[in-house]
Amino acid sequence: MTMDYTKCAREIYETLGGRSNLVSAAHCATRLRLVTVDNSKIDMKKLENVDGVKGVFSNNGQLQLIIGTGTVNKVYEEFLKVSGMTAATKEEVKAAAAAGQPVFKRMIKALGDVFVPILPAIVASGLMMGLVEALGKAFPSFAGSDWYGILDLLANTAFTFLPVLIAISSARVFGGNIFLGAVIGMIMIHPNLINAWTVGSMEAADIPVWHLFGFPIRQVGYQGHVIPVVIAVWLMCKIEKWLHKHVPEMIDLFVTPLCTVLLTAFVTLGLIGPVFSMAENYVLDFAGWIITVGNGVGAMLMGALYPFTVVCGIHHMYNVIEAGMLSAAEGLNIWMPIASAANFAQGAACLAVGLKAKNLKTKSVAIPSSLSAALGITEPAIFGVNLRYMKPLICGAAGGAAGALLGAMFHIGATSYGVTGIPGFLITLDYTVQYAIVLAVAFAVAFGLTWFVWKEEVEERDTNAGTETEKGEEKTASGEKALFAPVKGNVISREEIPDETFASGVLGDGVGIEPEAGEVVAPFDGVISTVTDTRHALGITGPGGMEVLIHVGVDTVNMKGEGFELFVSEGEEVKAGQKLIAFDIQKIKEAGYSTTTAVLLTNRDDYPDFKILKKGKTDTMEKLFEI
């Protein structure tokens, strides 16, 4: 059944509180992105039930409506006509969204932007540390071997040089030269400075001091510190930008970097480091107090509140706390059990909805989202299901509170951060049984409460439209049709795609491909239904009405087309194996994005016999799906 784009756009507009409540609108390959004045004026329930809208969530000040490839651009065109608005670029929408956010929210977002790109390195190191430690305990002879020594070195490198990783990421976020940022990070942990972990065991009089301009600068490093590094690089970027504007071009190349590093280094070692490292210690002490106050009552409250901080988009601030805890003398992350219990509980609540719901759309979103949450990625479960129905969110909060209370009572400590849920067992080896109890209790409370409290609302349109739609689906799906691999590489499950929207299945079912060659070919004879301005994604319609989204990389829309070449246009007929897109794998990696390419059947619900036939290594044009 063809979607009525005008009707969809009009119904969306009618929920938004009028033209005066809209600031700007844009779209990407799959989502309509809106910035509004006041979200409280929006009829969210009605918006979520608009025919054609597959999901709604708010992120970074933007209201994002998941509509799907091949349709979002058409709905967007009609939305502009209905609303009387003019088109805006995604960058303009982002700028409008950021400008409307409070200063505190912008600061939290900046911290999130700094930490999210380095999480893979931290997670990899943390899991490796857990594995090495487990092997050492299981086989005592291994603990003294050369293999243990080198694996231990590889595992703790990311934590040893954490300030350098943070400095590079901060420079990227604040718009500075990432290599100058790296230099500032390295200065702060230079081997000529006394290691920060050693200072605690020294008398203050024994710490060497430089006396410059009558001002004492302690010769102390900042290993393991977070806040001083971020502040220092933020200052560096401000200085660098100012110098670029005021220094003549002919001497800018060497004057600006020299002055930037010198000024930033002196201010960092003399002021930013001492002041903000002390402030960071107070923050950590306060966080530790919250967890332990009232014999775990504080931890229980944080376990309940944690998912609401995810909804507000400020949960990345916990990375700062966790990184600081790992750098302290004890070296244990006692915040992790709170986050893990909260995340696992939200997954349990989401699973209860998925198992209890009769609506196929709800099931198709809830069940995979719950599995994602069990692995530590909760956004699909929270935004796609629990927040929408609210009761599961509250029941999940209750489960998180119960689990967090136990975690505090058991004094569980992790050896890394960025890992929760089931993978968390690898970083809580000394507390395996206790950690299992925490997850079991969080799951049981959240699942049980949701099962008994949440009731599915029966909507008229689901019952009225059912019979004819099902008949149409049977006709569409009749006969054996197939999709062949459009990219050469390693095929992974949809849930493993490192993007919550793709992984949750809300845009359809399929796989991810980790490419070995930078080329996308047509997976069947079909018609190009949509292409993006940034050339990183396209939609193609094929046999039996299959609608397929091919999206190269994650968040590669931010590359603005750099590194991508498009060989087809919208409406063009293509043959199986025909070259569609060329892309530069190395450029994507250098820009800090995953190259994983999503291949999704966006109208999966039309095909009850849909099968994924391929996992692991594949060449182009090997059979991937069958309907």
Q: What one-character-per-residue DSSP string does 116-146 give?
A: GGGHHHHHHHHHHHHHHHHHHHH-HHHHTSH
- Of 278 and 204, which is predicted with more confidence? 278
User: For the chain, how many structural domains are there in total?
Assistant: 3
Question: What's the whole-number mean pLDDT along residues 422-450?
Answer: 91
Q: Does 244 reside within a domain?
A: yes
Question: What's the whole-number mean pLDDT along residues 441-468?
Answer: 72
Q: What one-character-per-residue DSSP string does 289-302 give?
A: HHHHGGGGHHHHHH
Q: For residue 458, what is the DSSP state?
A: P
pLDDT at residue 285 greater than cutoff 80: no
Question: What's the whole-number mean pLDDT along residues 297-304?
Answer: 88
Q: Give the pLDDT band (50/70/90) at residue 477.
A: very low
pLDDT at residue 315 greater than cutoff 70: no
Q: What is the mean pLDDT of the chain?
A: 82
pLDDT at residue 446 greater than cutoff 90: yes
Helix and strand counts by DSSP (H, E) for the chain: 25, 20
pLDDT digits (tens, 9 = 90+) for 219-256: 888 876 778 888 999 999 999 999 998 999 889 888 99
Residues 6 or more apart whose Cβ sits within 8 Å of residue 465: none
Q: For residue 457, what is the DSSP state?
A: P
Phi–psi pair at 531, nearest 5 degrees: -135, 155
Q: Does 422 reside within a domain?
A: no
Q: Give the pLDDT band (50/70/90) at residue 567.
A: very high
Clarify whether residues 202 and 123 are in a common domain: yes
- How much is the pTM? 0.49
Question: What's the whole-number mean pLDDT along residues 570-588?
Answer: 91
Q: Which tokens in the block code for residue 259?
A: 């002055």
Q: Does 163 reside within a domain?
A: yes
Question: What's the whole-number mean pLDDT along residues 107-135?
Answer: 72
Q: Which tokens in the block code for residue 595?
A: 């190259």
Question: What's the whole-number mean pLDDT along residues 404-423?
Answer: 85
Clarify whether residues 88 and 195 are in a common domain: no
The percent of the chain in helix, strand and coil, each rounded to the nearest 5, is 60, 15, 30
Residue-number span of the structural domain to which 155 is assigned: 113-293
Q: Does 415 reside within a domain?
A: no
Question: Catalytic pick from 315, 316, 536, 551?
Answer: 551
Contact at 8 Å (CB) between 349 and 472?
Answer: no
Question: What's the whole-number mean pLDDT along residues 2-29?
Answer: 84
Q: For residue 220, what is the DSSP state?
A: B
Clarify whether residues 133 and 63 are in a common domain: no
Q: For residue 28, what is the DSSP state?
A: -
Question: Catalytic pick from 8, 27, 28, 350?
Answer: 28
Mark out the alpha helices in 328-459 (DSSP H runs).
336-356, 360-374, 379-381, 387-389, 391-409, 432-453
Q: For residue 505, what is the DSSP state?
A: T
Question: What's the whole-number mean pLDDT along residues 601-617?
Answer: 83
Contact at 8 Å (CB) between 356 and 433?
Answer: no
In angstroms, how far apart are the furthest CA atoms of the chain? Answer: 85
Contact at 8 Å (CB) between 614 and 484?
Answer: no
Q: Which tokens in the block code for residue 341?
A: 């219990």
Strand order, beta sheet including 62-66: 22-27, 31-36, 62-66, 55-59
pLDDT for the residue numbered 599: 94
Clarify whether residues 553 and 602 are in a common domain: yes
Clarify whether residues 92 and 123 are in a common domain: no
pLDDT at residue 199 greater than cutoff 90: no
Q: Give the pLDDT band (50/70/90) at residue 460.
A: very low
pLDDT at residue 479 greater than cutoff 50: no
Rounded CA separation 435/491 (Å): 32
Q: Which tokens in the block code for residue 510?
A: 């399929």
Which of 78, 101, 124 is the last residue in one of the domains?
Answer: 101
pLDDT for the residue numbered 321: 74
Residue 194 β-bridge partners: 220
We report the CATH number of the domain holding residue 517 as: 2.70.70.10
Selection from 511, 566, 509 nearest residue 537 by Cα: 566
Q: What percent of the chain has pLDDT over 90?
A: 28
Residue 511 β-bridge partners: 493, 599
Burial 56-66 (b: 16+ CB within 10 A, else e): bbbebbbbbbb
**315 belongs to the catalytic site:** no
Q: Give the pLDDT band (50/70/90) at residue 478.
A: very low
pLDDT for the residue numbered 201: 62
pLDDT at residue 463 greater than cutoff 50: no
Q: Does 444 reside within a domain?
A: no
Question: What's the whole-number mean pLDDT along residues 103-108?
Answer: 64
Report CA 401 to chain centroid distance, whole Å: 24
pLDDT for the residue numbered 263: 95
Q: What one-character-per-residue DSSP string does 46-77 give?
A: HHHTSTT--EEEEETTEEEEE--TTTHHHHHH
Clarify whether residues 151 and 38 are in a common domain: no
Clarify whether residues 285 and 136 are in a common domain: yes
pLDDT at residue 444 greater than cutoff 90: yes
Which of 79, 101, 123 is the last residue in one of the domains?
Answer: 101
pLDDT at residue 443 greater than cutoff 50: yes
Residues 6 or more apart whose Cβ sits within 8 Å of residue 13: 79, 82, 83
Clarify whether residues 95 and 136 are in a common domain: no
- Of 218 and 180, which is predicted with more confidence? 180
We report the CATH number of the domain holding residue 32 as: 3.30.1360.60
Clarify whether residues 181 and 215 are in a common domain: yes
Clarify whether residues 225 and 286 are in a common domain: yes
CA torsion sign for 157, 161, 164, 170 is positive
Q: Which tokens in the block code for residue 525?
A: 């004879």
pLDDT digits (tens, 9 = 90+) for 89-105: 555 555 555 555 566 66
Q: Give the pLDDT band (50/70/90) at residue 155.
A: confident
| Residue listed under structure tokens 């080896």 | 429
pLDDT for the residue numbered 65: 85
Phi–psi pair at 534, nearest 5 degrees: -90, 5
**316 belongs to the catalytic site:** no
Residues 6 or more apart whose Cβ sits within 8 Å of residue 552: 515, 520, 536, 537, 564, 581, 583, 588, 595, 597
